[in-house]
Structure formats: structure tokens, C-alpha cells
Structure 1
């Protein structure tokens, strides 16, 4: 029941993102929640029919709360917008750089935060574009700087194509409610890297990025190592992204829950190792508190630090909240199942960021973990050779299960399915996860230290060499004509049928006709829209 309520809350949050207006939504959702609560209390009577009623009412109550939470936050954020009278007008403001700046020598783009005493009709955060004047170079834009600028402010507008990227929704999810372009020559007023916790984190990310760029200058895949270390993907070439997408390894070249879990495991292992060997007043610390519990709780520290350094994206949030749920379960001795932990993480993400369901990565991330939880692990055989063989077979089966199970979501959200994904991931997962990512993190940590450029170059060059060797077969897979299957944007009922078929096919051996579930994906993959007749305008 708890899992059904949790995912009903997430569904209610996601439903709000598709509404055309929020007028009265919060009030209606609150009334629905009160009605569901009253019905639940009335249903607390003995009898089978009342038990069925409770199972229906409680998820409805959770969905109503999800709608109310998402709609309330959306109304608050939508109220912080560019006034129509300010649209396409110039305003002089004091703006503080709040996030990493992107761009090249000719232009910069960054999120600026305006003060509380800003001119009326301007939002608190703007996405600023600063282009260089003819014959002049742009200064370095660093988080924490405060500039006096003349900005031409505009309201963001997205494309009307329903299957194109919704830029306005992405800006809304980031808390950016206006666009601006610099006019004239801004004046630097001050530079405060400790203006607040968020700016301090962004300043640390800037320092790591600058150090890695200097240490890895001239290397072909240096932007990929930067993306693995701090989540800054702006430097990765477009053609590389196309190869990553067609080969199905995009989740490996951007920070994911796998990387966060690896960092947490390393921190937890180190804490447990030290705790087992430390003493206090002649008494081993392991006798005061179990080392396993200390290791699990201590793992949250490096995991949170890495998530913040990586930009606090949806996959990192999901991984951190799952780790936090595991730590709470261990500390409180709560026998939580993996599916309950996954549900708790999804609810936490939806509460803190109701726009997360807009990102395909939200569904792909939680979907992949759900498949891993559902497939599980078999019994461990005896003998080293048998264990190695079972591990390789289990890895292959798990990789194939994840690939097939995520095919409906990829077809519906991305409209492309990678046919070369199983082969590319079989090569890339161990190399990127166990070698390239740790070396990228080591390079980033060393490059931020005084005098660490030499060791940082050694670590970065080693990681770059491994990734370059890996890209030889992956690039061939990604550029092959057969590697990617483009599909049309099918109606949602075909998605529901495909997901139901995948869930049916992933059941344990002995489930009736379970392999036939994969056939339910065919309508989603082969669907084609009705074409207009020749000459139609």
C-alpha cells in the first residue's frame, strides 16, 4: 500500500505539468484530499468490501496531495515572472553570477541572481547572454561576482511543436523566469565566493573545471572527463553526443547514480576500516557502535558532496535519497525492501523538485533501478570459476533486461532506440565505471589543489587514454546505420501496452507465456502517423 501511495503521489505531481492552467487546482486538490481522507476514515470498518475501498482511497489521497504540492510550487514560481511592460526593455541592475558560466571566447551565458531591491517587474533569476564587443575580449565570469549591467530583458517563449524540446519548461524547472542580453560595458562591483552556500558550491565547481581544462588541454575527450567529474556537459561536442546516443552509453558519460554509489561505497569502506581499528580510552569503537552502521551513515557525506559538485541533477538526487533511505533503515533497524527505498527516493525527488518528471532522465533513471530491483540476483555458486561464469552471465542477462525494459520509454521520450546498446554497454560499463570515472574524479581533485597540475595530468591522461581506446569500437557501433532505430511519437496507449508487456516479460521463470510480453512493444515501435496527401498545405 505504501508503494502504491508513493507512486500515486509522483503521478499526481507529473499530471500537474501537463495542465494548461492552474486556476483553482490547489483548492480542488485539497478538497479532493479531504474527501479521500474522510472516505478512508469511513472505510475503516471490517469486511472485504471496505478493505478494497481503502486500497483505492489511499492512493487517491496521495495523488491529491501530489497535485496540491506541485501546483502550489508552480503558482509560486510562475508569479515570479517578467512583467509584460518590461518585455524587450532595458533595465540597469546589480546581478550576481549564481551558476557556472558557459560559452566560448565570443560569448558567455550564465544564470544571474537579482537582489531583493531590484526594479519592479523583474524576476529573481535571469539567464544572461553576454556577447563580446567588436575588437574586445570578454572577462572571466565566475560564480560569486556582482556586476552592474544594462540588460535587455525578455519573457521566455518555447516552440509550439509538441514533440520538440520545451525550453520554457526547462527554464521554469531551473527557476529561471526571464532571458536577458547585456548592453554596453558592465562594471564589476565585487566578488564574494561565499555569498551563500549555493554560490560557494558553484565556485568550487568552477575551480575544478578550470583546473581540469588546464591539465587536460588539447586532449580529444577532455570535456567528457570534465562531465564525469562535475556534471558540466556543455563542452562535449554535438557529434560525440550523437555517437553516445546511438550507441546507448549516454548514461555512462554523464554523472549517474552508479557514480554516486561508487563514491559513497568508497567513503563508507574507508570509514568502516578506520572505525574497526580506532579506540577510545582503551575500548575499541566497534564495541560502542557497529562498524557497518557507522560506514553506512558515513557514506552519506562523500555522496552528498559529490552530488552537489555534480550539479544536483535528477540521477544524483535519486541516488542520494536512496542512500539516505538505506542509512535511515540501517540506523533505525527498519527492514526496508529495495522497492520501498526506490519509492521513498521518488517521492523525495517529486516533493523537492516537482518539475523532475518533465525530464526523460527521471523515468529512465528510476526505470533502470526498478528493473535491477525486479530482476534481482540468484544464488551464488561454489568455486571461483563457477562464480566468474555466473557473474558474467548475470551481467549479460541484467544488461539485456535493462535494455529491453527501457525500450518503450526511450521510444516514447527520445524517439530513438539504440540497437547496439547491449554490445556497447558490455564494453563501456566496466571501463567507464571502474577506471575512467575514478581517474576523472582524481584528476578533478588534484587539479583544484595548489601545485597539483602534474599529478592531475597523469590521472587525466590515463583516464583519457582508456576512454579513447574504448571509443574505437563504440564509435564504430554508434556510426553504423543499424545501430539506431528512429521511431515516431506514438500515442500514449501504445506506451502503456508496451510497459505492461515489459513488466509481464520480466517476471520470474515459470510465469505463463512471459516471453510473449516483448511482442507488446511492436505497436509502439512500428506505429506511423497518417501522412498528409501530396500537395497538402
Structure 2
């Protein structure tokens, strides 16, 4: 069973990440021949996993709105399939449209929604504008398209204001999400003054929308994020609570004269409670895994059959992937299954019993999950064993049972449910003070670079060797495998060279320039809302990807949101030595840039060409203009200057403007890129930093043509994602470089 599960998982993984039909077909043929000859069931498991995932992937791809589909307004009817997420200026929810020519599931945003919010399970008629699933593509950044693909969402869009937007039918009684929404409303009304209400909602119904970014940061730094939602551990606790409580009651019940053993009644009750609690969580991947394992364990108890724990885990893996092979794209899948596998490897068949097993299990879990945490998050909580040693017993033994009991008694007595919930709030408040204190410890978390695959594989081998029983031969090799990681450093440019990375921030601009020992950021992209800006969502993950912990200079070309919006997201998350801009920035110590400023880093020349003294005009016209000269390439970064400033630059510098790389001014607007300026720069690469299907229609076709006339190669962040220049070599186009079967191909 274990070999078959691993083979099934590998087949699914291969189908997702290898998109070459010839390679896949050749491997499939080889496996079929091998199976016919050897008749091994695990070979069949690999074949089934490969074919099943390929079939599901093809269906998901066909379900997506085509990238070249024209943007149009549609009138649709359908079902709200999730609890609406509430934001300051809009709500968002999943929608199942009735139209056969649309994807089966879409994600909609409703700005300035009606007074009576739509609810989960209701049927609505809506006027929407849809677009294909599309996201920013950057090194180290969140792959939004992969997430949409894993959730089977084939399009995104927003609801337009229209008179015919109306509810067609209320939710029916069998809608799970409606139950969850009703519970959310009841909990909020029962304990409105609870200080830890967002955490209670997360533990009660898996609704984590109200947990603030600062709270998430504390949970990540202490390694306790898994406890603040309905996890596999909690499903197991719910099943155990139902099993022992009903078994105990059955022994003293008059119904036990039916000669039904208490353990059988308890097994049925434990399974019912587990299903109830898993449904409250929306049947997420960790709860699916836990529910399958609990079901098998309760079935074994009911039938008095002995079942190996590893076989239960293997069968759960196969069943989860049969239900949803794209679960492999989620970090939750790997973390939840790996956690159970580590416990089974380290704490089963050990005789005599391990002393202080509860303490050791935290240490082993924290150690064993390090490779996955490094791979998915590049962030490892150093104090996780201590934090979990306190948090797991408190949350699992006290808080979760209180919340489950409150959910059970809520239909009977709301006052008793409120008492139980306030008790849970009191315990969580104590826990939160402890976690806040631990997160402030200087060494609370360890940020790692993104290691290459060989080093990551060596880390996995080292951890496995450390976890092996004492006296196992070869354990000392763990030190050998760890040594390369201790001395690993991200590749930096040679002296005299620089790296230029133009990041994909949608409609805006953010770029990072690296020399051998220094780093400069030119603009930080836009701020889309109070909770989302590209400085925090794009620039900071890129810096972590490059193992950059300090910024020498952060230069903001001008004060428009699409250039300065991510500023605070950057300075709040990394050390910045100096901030330059064309204008004073409120509450920020700013050095004003002006023509004539220049400096040298590691043999690379930096020169500010504009603004000139007493220069008039708009903020765009007075943008800081930076030119960089290395021994193998040069770059000109002009911000959003327009024709008047372009004319001054041509008059002042003439042929000195010529550069290999140009970040096209004002994103390709007609107000910029005058012919004299284009000819003076004559770039080899013309970079348009624009958003996919942006409302301005940038870049304008006439402007693109001007650069083609002078022989420039056209690159665009909406088509190519992040664009990375290294030592004068051909640029790396991140969307094409990291293309997978879920990656959309942008076209005009």
C-alpha cells in the first residue's frame, strides 16, 4: 500500500509539472511494458496517477476562459458557492454560473455592494465583466494563476452596477456554506466584544478573513499558523471527543440493553462529529486528509480490525488525490501529510516507549518540516517548538473542545453557547499574549534564500538522517550534507557589472538593480488597497528570493500611486539606508534627487539626469531619471517623463542617452516617447511595464511601432512577467521561464 501511494503521488506530480507530450507518452509506454512484465501493483499506481491527473488537467484547461477572449459585459445567473469575503471597499465570492459557455466556477468582486449582502447558497442574477485567470509572475512571488487553477476557477471579474442585479432565490437548507455563514453571523452576534473573535471564527468554521496581517505575522513567526484554522489535528480531536463522550454515555444508557458494544456506538458518533466539524471547515485539504484517516480508524474500531497507521495514511493520500489531484499544488497537502509521516517514522515501533514523547514530538515535527517550510515560504520559525509546546495543548485540549461544544449546544441554548465561546476567547487571549512575546524575540524566525534543487535535496537527506534512530549507521553524513547550505550565497554580479530586474507589478513600475555589494530599488509599484501593495507582495518576496536583506538606496521617481504605492510595504519589511525622490515624501526622511548627482558602486556608474534646478511642469515631467552604466550593459530609467522633459534631456545630453535597456517612459503613453528621444536612446530592449488589459490601453500601438523602427526588441511585463537582465546576456522572461500547464499565455 505504501509503495502504491508513493507511486500514485509521483505519477500525479509528473503529470502536473512535465508538460512535454513526447516525454510523458514515452514514460507511459515504458511503465505499461514494465507492468505487463513484472505485474507490480505500484507500477499500476504510477500509471493511474499519471493518467487521472492528465485527464483532470485537460478538463480544467478547457474550463478556463481563453486568454484571447474579448472583454465584454455579460448577464449571468447562478449560485454563490462560498461565504463572501468582506474587504473595506468590496466583497468577493465564488460563483457557479448556469451559462454553458462560461467556466463552471468564477471568482467575482463586487465594489460598493448593496445594503443586503449576497449570502452563500443564494441564486443571483448579475451583470459582470469577466477576464481570464491571470496574475503577476515574479521570482519568489505568489503564483496567483496556480492558486486559481488548484481551486478550479476558470475566470475572474467584477460586478457592474446595474438595475437588474438581483437575488433570484434564497439558499436551500442543504447548502453547507449557508450553514457556515449562519454560524458566522450567530457567533458574531453572541460574542461581539470578544477580543479574539477572528481566531474563534477560524477555529469554528475555518473563516480566516478577519485575521489581520499583523496577527498572521505573529502566527508565522511562532510557527502556529496551523492551529488557527480547522486542521487535521482538530478533526482528530473532534472524533475523539465524540467517541469517548458517546461511549461513556452509552454505558449508562437504558439503550445498552440492545447489546450493541459501546465502542461501536462511539465509533459512529466520533465519525459523525468529525464529518460535522470538517464540513464547518469547508472540507479543505488538511481536513479531507484527516477525515479520511478518521473514517478508516473508526471503521477499524467498529469492525475490531487491526490496521497499520501507515496504510491509513497511504490510503488517505490516494483518496485525496483521486478527489482532487491539484491538491499537490497546495503547501497544506505536503505539510499535513509530511507531519503525520514524520510522527509515524519517529514514534511507532519504538520499544521501550519514548520518555517525554509529547516534548519530543514537537521538536521532531519542527525539525522534519524545515525542508518544506524553506521550499514553500523561505521562512522557518526557530521558536516553533516552544510556541507549539504551549499552544497545541491549550488550543487542542481546551479551546477546540469548548468551540465544538458551543456549536453543538447552539441550537438548544444560545446563552450556554455564548459562555463556552467567551471561555474560549479568554484562553485564546492568554495564548495571544504569550505568542506576541515570543514573536518579539530577535531570533524568532529564520529567513532563508531559495536554495537550488541540489541543495534542497541535500537538506532533505540531512533531516532524514537526523531523524533516524540513535545508532543508525551513516547519521554523521547529515553534517556533510548541511555544510554546503551554510556556505551558500546567492550569485551576485561581477565587479563592473549589474543585474536589472524589472518586476511585474501590474499597471505600475518596480525594478531592482544589483551590483556586487550594493542594491538599489527604482520605484515600488502600486498600492491596490489598504491590505495589498506590490512593495510587500512583489518586491519583498523578490528580495528574499535574491537573499537581499538591506537596500542601499530606494529611489522613487515621482509621487504617483503606481510608482510609490508599495513604498511602506518595502521599508516596513527590510532595512533601507537612503530614500531618494523628486519630491518630499510625508513622514519619510527623503533626499531630493536632482540632475548632476552621481556615484559609483563596484565599478558601475549611476547618474541622475533629471529633474533640473527650478524645473516646472507636472509630477510626471519632474520624475527622477536614472542612468546606469556597466561594462557589459547600460540602462535608462526615466519614470513617467513626457515630451517636454524628453526634449530637455535630448538637448542636454544628446548621444549620452543611448542605452541598451530602456524602461519606456510613462508605460507607453502617447504623451511620451517622442521620436527625437527614441532615436537618441535607440535601446536594444524597450521595456513596457504595464498591467494585463489595463484600462488605459497601454502601451499604445503607435508608440510600440516607434521603438520597432529603431530596432528595439519589445518586452512587456504583462506578456513576459518579470524581466531579468544579467551581465549583458539575453534577458530571462519569467512567465516563459516558469511556464506550467496552468500558466496563461498573454497576447494582444
TM over 0.5: yes
Mean Cα deviation higher: 410-419 or 492-501: 492-501
Secondary structure of the residue aligned to 2:199 is helix
CA contact (8 A) 2:105 2:152 kept: yes
Matches within 5 A, 1:49-198: 58-84=41-67, 86-104=69-87, 106-115=89-98, 118=99, 120=101, 122-132=102-112, 137-185=114-162, 186-194=164-172, 197=174
Secondary structure of the residue aligned to 2:140 is coil
CA contact (8 A) 2:32 2:47 kept: no
Shift of 1:528: 2.9
Q: Alpha-carbon deviations, 1:294-319, whole Å to 9, x = none?
A: 42243211111211111111111111
Query: Gaps spanning 5+ residues in structure 1: where?
Result: 42-53, 382-389
- Which residue number in structure 2 is paired with residue 352 of structure 1? 323
- Which residue number in structure 2 is paired with residue 498 of structure 1? 459
Query: Gaps spanning 5+ residues in structure 2: where?
Result: 501-748
> Residue 463 in 1 paired to residue 462 in 2?
no
- Which residue number in structure 1 is paired with residue 686 of structure 2? none
Shift of 1:160: 2.0
Mean Cα deviation higher: 309-318 or 470-479: 470-479
Q: Separation in 2 of the partners of 1:209 and 1:299?
A: 24
Shift of 1:523: 3.6
- Which residue number in structure 2 is paired with residue 370 of structure 1? 341
Shift of 1:351: 1.2
Shift of 1:188: 2.2
Secondary structure of the residue aligned to 2:103 is coil
Secondary structure of the residue aligned to 1:124 is coil
- Which residue number in structure 2 is paired with residue 291 of structure 1? 262
Shift of 1:476: 1.7
- Which residue number in structure 2 is paired with residue 51 of structure 1? none
Matches within 5 A, 1:189-228: 189-194=167-172, 197=174, 200-228=175-203
Secondary structure of the residue aligned to 2:106 is strand
> Residue 5 in 1 paired to residue 1 in 2?
no
Q: Separation in 2 of the partners of 1:223 and 1:532?
A: 46
**Which residue among 349, 357, 367 is the counterpart of 1:394?**
357
Matches within 5 A, 1:232-381: 232-278=207-253, 284-286=257-259, 289-376=260-347
Shift of 1:25: 8.2
CA contact (8 A) 1:87 1:155 kept: no
Secondary structure of the residue aligned to 2:79 is strand
Q: Separation in 2 of the partners of 1:526 and 1:232?
A: 42
Shift of 1:155: 0.3
CA contact (8 A) 2:89 2:112 kept: yes
Higher-strand-fraction structure: 2
CA contact (8 A) 1:276 1:284 kept: no
**Which residue among 368, 383, 397 is the counterpart of 1:434?**
397
Cα RMSD after superposing both structures = 2.6
Q: Separation in 2 of the partners of 1:476 and 1:278?
A: 48
Cα 1:214–1:102, aligned 2, differ >3 Å: closer, same or farther? same
Q: TM-score when scaled to structure 2? A: 0.62
Q: Alpha-carbon deviations, 1:179-212, whole Å to 9, x = none?
A: 01011135324233228x5xx1000000011111
CA contact (8 A) 2:79 2:121 kept: yes
Q: Separation in 2 of the partners of 1:518 and 1:256?
A: 34
- Which residue number in structure 1 is paired with residue 445 of structure 2? 484
Mean Cα deviation higher: 84-93 or 244-253: 84-93
Q: TM-score when scaled to structure 1? A: 0.85
Q: Separation in 2 of the partners of 1:210 and 1:29?
A: 53
Q: How many residues align?
A: 496
Mean Cα deviation higher: 500-509 or 514-523: 514-523
Shift of 1:348: 1.0
Cα 1:205–1:513, aligned 2, differ >3 Å: closer, same or farther? same
Secondary structure of the residue aligned to 1:473 is helix
The structure showing larger relative contact order (alpha-carbon pairs under 8 Å, at least 6 residues apart) is 1
Secondary structure of the residue aligned to 1:220 is coil
- Which residue number in structure 2 is paired with residue 528 of structure 1? 489
- Which residue number in structure 2 is paired with residue 509 of structure 1? 470
Shift of 1:374: 1.8
Shift of 1:79: 1.0
Q: Separation in 2 of the partners of 1:211 and 1:24?
A: 56
Q: Separation in 2 of the partners of 1:255 and 1:321?
A: 15
Mean Cα deviation higher: 456-465 or 151-160: 456-465
CA contact (8 A) 1:30 1:65 kept: no
- Which residue number in structure 2 is paired with residue 409 of structure 1? 372
Q: Separation in 1 of the partners of 2:225 and 2:344?
A: 21
Shift of 1:29: 6.7
- Which residue number in structure 2 is paired with residue 38 of structure 1? 36
Q: Alpha-carbon deviations, 1:36-60, whole Å to 9, x = none?
A: 321224xxxxxxxxxxxx5xxx433
User: Which one has a bigger Cα radius of gyration?
Assistant: 2
- Which residue number in structure 2 is paired with residue 384 of structure 1? none
Cα 1:518–1:444, aligned 2, differ >3 Å: closer, same or farther? farther
Q: Separation in 2 of the partners of 1:357 and 1:295?
A: 33
